[in-house]
Amino acid sequence: MKKKYLVLQIRKEKSILPPKTDLDNKIYQTLTDNIFYEDIYIYNKEEYFIDITNYEELYQKSSYQIAQQIKNNLTKKFRVSIKIGIGTNLFLAKTACDIITKIKKANITYLDEKEYIAVCSKHKPLSDFWQISHSMMLKLNSLGINTMEDLRNFSYKKLYETFGYNAEYLINHSLGIESTTIQELTKQKIPKTVSSCSSFKHIKTRKESIKDLENLLDFNILKLKENSLATKTIHLYIKYANNIIPREIIPIKLTKHTNSYTILMEKSLKTYKEKANLFIPIEKLAISFGEIIKTDDITNQLPSSKKKKRISFRNIFYKKKELSLTSPNQMSFLNI
């Protein structure tokens, strides 16, 4: 059976009552009236990933009809705007939601591998695509890669030399491939750290290396946000040229957990400018976020009675045909 996924984006009106956290729970509970909780992944407070592979047979409805019914249920109960992307994998569903809904000016859109190649190959900017940050897009642009078509035709060897492990998902996404499932996402453990590093081909001064540090921070913050994580400690690692002086590890303690781009960027850059040696050139930089926690663990906040038990879809289909929709990474730190 071919996989089918939904990516559901919800835009809440400012005037809505009850309070936001209560609303999040109510939206989740509404979703679990028709979808079992193990098939829902809360990507962030306004976005849900849903595996609907088994529900087409269960409800005898198409993926579009299921998406339309979910949209109707939510808009009827709450004053919210809904966008839904449907895809044969999570990346395509996310692309359908983020990009195709805008192109077609529709609230529900579908994308498979064939249509993705036809419609999205020349789309710009690359940062519109899932898991491509602005700084990563600029680095791709500097290589002459401005579209997914350029990425598919670029040397894979050079991509790995430039982006390391991240080249794998760039290549896969350029082809419309994504193997991660909802079940794998829900089983992912909270990483101890989120880290990245950069080695310079030519040594740089503190001032010259600021842009590299910004790129590392940009990448790490993106990983926090994508995985609904927050950090409370930052470590800056600096290796000086020829080991003229010992490498430095500069700790930064925040007052509370956050994944705010502004707070993490400003605090890190300010500390770097104050404490990194002004006179000794630098050959390697790394950044590591610690004390990682989940920020959107809404599922665990719900009463246990609201959580759906694991039930065989075979049993559901044969015993409860009358059911209808109208009834209720860790990124390891690279040693320097």
DSSP 286-304: EEEEES-EES--HHHHS-G
75 burial class (0-12, 13-18, 19+ CB within 10 angstroms)?
Answer: middle
For 193-291, give the CATH class: alpha beta
The whole-number mean pLDDT for each consecutive block of 10 residues of the chain, a chain of 336 residues, reads 87 56 79 88 88 92 94 89 95 97 96 95 95 90 96 93 86 94 78 85 90 90 86 93 89 93 94 92 92 66 44 42 37 37
Cβ neighbours of residue 17 closer than 8 Å, sequence gap 6 or more: none
- Closest to 176 (Cα-Cα) out of 99, 105, 107: 99
Beta bridge mates, 85: 7, 109
Cα distances (Å, whole numbers) of residue 316 to 35, 253, 291:
12, 51, 42
Domain with CATH 1.10.150.20 in the chain: 126-178
Rg (CA), the chain: 22
> Model confidence over 246-297: pLDDT tens digits?
888 999 999 999 999 999 999 999 999 999 998 999 999 999 999 999 876 4
Mean pLDDT, the chain, as a whole number?
83
For CATH 3.30.70.270, the residue range(s) in the chain are 5-120
CATH of the domain spanning 5-120: 3.30.70.270
Residue span(s) of the chain under CATH 3.30.1490.100 come to: 193-291
Residues near 34 by Cβ (< 8 Å), separated by ≥ 6?
Answer: 55, 69, 70, 73, 325, 328
Question: Structure tokens of 47?
Answer: 């976005």
What are the pLDDT digits (tens) for 249-261?
Answer: 999 999 999 999 9
User: What local confidence, expressed as pLDDT, does residue 330 receive?
Assistant: 34
Per CATH, which fold does 126-178 belong to?
DNA polymerase; domain 1 (1.10.150)
The pTM of the whole model exceeds 0.95: no
